Structure 1
Amino acid sequence: MNERTGTFRISPDEFKSFSLFLEKNCGILLADHKQYLVQSRLGKIMQECSLDNLSCLITQLERAGGNQLKDKVIDAMTTNETLWFRDTHPYDILKNKLLPEIKEKNQRKKVRIWSAACSTGQEPYSMSMIIDEYKRANLGSFSVGEEIVATDISASVLQQARGGEYEMLALGRGLEKERLRKHFKANANGSWTINPDIKARVRFQSLNLLGQYSGLGQFDIIFCRNVMIYFSSELKTQILRKMHKQLNPGGYLLLGASESLSGLSDCYKMIHCRPGIIYQAI
C-alpha cells in the first residue's frame, strides 16, 4: 500500500478471492479486467484500516464480527448510477397503463410498488411523482392509498434517499424544470428537498437481494431496473423467481432496457408496450 496515494497492487489470487467474497455476499460478478475498480474503490478503506494489501482485507472480512467492515466494503463496491425518470417509457407505462388498470380492478386495496435497488431515491421518488400526477388528473383514485417500498443493500445511499435532499447536478439528470418547481423546495445552500407529500408515499429499507423477500409483503408492481446486469444468470433466475412470489396475481415486473427474462415462462409473460417491454406474473 502506498500511504501517500492510497494505491495498492492486487495479485491474481487476491483478486479471485475478493471476487468470490463479493459474489457470495451481494451477488455482484467482477470481470477479470476490473482490478482497477477494486483499487479505486477500496483504497480509502485500506488506508483507514491500515491494511497493506488485499489479502489482509480479505482476512479481516472473514473474521467473526467483521460485519461493519463487510458493510463498508460492499457499500464501496456497489454501483449507484441512477437518474430521474430513467429511460422515460417505464414511467409512461406506469402512468398510462398500469395505474389505470390497478384502479379498475383494485379500488379497495392499497396500491403497493417495490423499487428494488433504489440507490439514492430517484426511482421511487419518480414513481411517487407519477402517482401524484395521475391522482390529480383522476380524482378519487386509490382512496385507500399507495405505498412504494424502496430497498437497497447500501446504508449510505439509503440515508441520502431518506433525506430527500439533492444538489442541482443530481437534479439535472432527468428531472424536468416543471417537476422541480412543483415537487421540490429550494434550500438556502442551493440544494433542493422533495416535498413531504411525495416523500410520504415512499418507505426505504435495507435489503440484500440474495436474502428473503417475504417480509416485504405483496406488490402490484416491481421495478427492478438495471440491477440484473451485475449478477450471474443462475442468480438472476433465483432472484426473479423470488420476486414472482411477491407479486399479486397479474402483477407486473419492469426490468432495465438492456435486461430480459429467459427460462421463466412458467412465471411471467412478456407484454410489448411499444416502446418498452414489461412482464406480467402468471
Structure 2
Amino acid sequence: MFSLKNKHAVITGGGSGIGRAVCLLFGKQGAIVHVMDISKDAANQTAVQISEEGGEAFAHACDVSNQQNVTEIFNEIGTVHILVNSAGVSHIGKVDNTSEADFDRIYNVNVKGVYNCLHATIPSMKQNGGGVILNVCSVAAFVGLADRFAYSMSKGAVSSMTLSVAKDYVHDNIRCNSVSPGRVHTAFVDGFLAKNYPGREAEMFEKLSKTQPIGRMGKPEEIATIILFLCSDEASFITGTDYPIDGGFIKLNT
C-alpha cells in the first residue's frame, strides 16, 4: 500500500523540517524525488540521504517566490505526478507591529510561492492526464493565533487556493488537498526558542508543547505520513479537503 513507485514528486522546502521528512518517506516508497529548497546544500543533503537509502532523488536550488526560477526548474523536470508545497517562512507580530517588508516576505514565500508552483505544474498535469497536489497549510488558517497576523494571513490564502484548485481541476483528474499541522518540533522551533528565550529553552519548549491537548509537539515524520496517504492512489476519492494534524488543537481547545 501507499506505493509511489516511478512517480515524479516535487517537494518544495525539502531541505529541512516537514519537507525533508516528506522527501525521505517518498523516497522509501519508490518515488523519484525532486528536492526543491532555497538552499542547494540543504537540498543536496536530503537527496544524498535518499540515494543512500536506495531511492532516487534530484536536488534543485529554487526560490519559490521567483516565478521565472520556478518555471525553469519545472520545465527542466518535465512530467510531475505529485507536488507538495511545503516551503514556508514564519513571522511573529500583530498587524500594528508587522512592517511592510515583513508582510511582503511572508506573502512572497507562503502565498506567491504556492501560486508559482501551482501555475508551473498544473498545465503539465492536465496534459499528462492528472496528478496530485498537497499544500501544507496550518491551524493558523482556522483559529486566531496571538502574534501571528501575517503568517495566519498567508495560511488562510493557502486554504483558499487548495479549494479553488480542487474545484477548477477535478475533471482534469487533479486532486488537491491540504494538511494543517499544529506545532511541530523542527529546527525552526529550536532556533526560535534560542533567539527569544535564551537560558529558558527547556521551560518554553514544555510550555509550547502543552498548548496541544495531546501534550506534545508533532514530529515531522507524523506529518509526512498523512501527506503520503493523501498523495497515494489509496486516497483517490479525496479532494478539496484539509486534514488537521494538531494533537487536538483546533477541536479540543474551542
TM score, norm. by length of structure 1: 0.28
Higher helix fraction: Structure 1 or Structure 2?
2
TM score, norm. by length of structure 2: 0.30
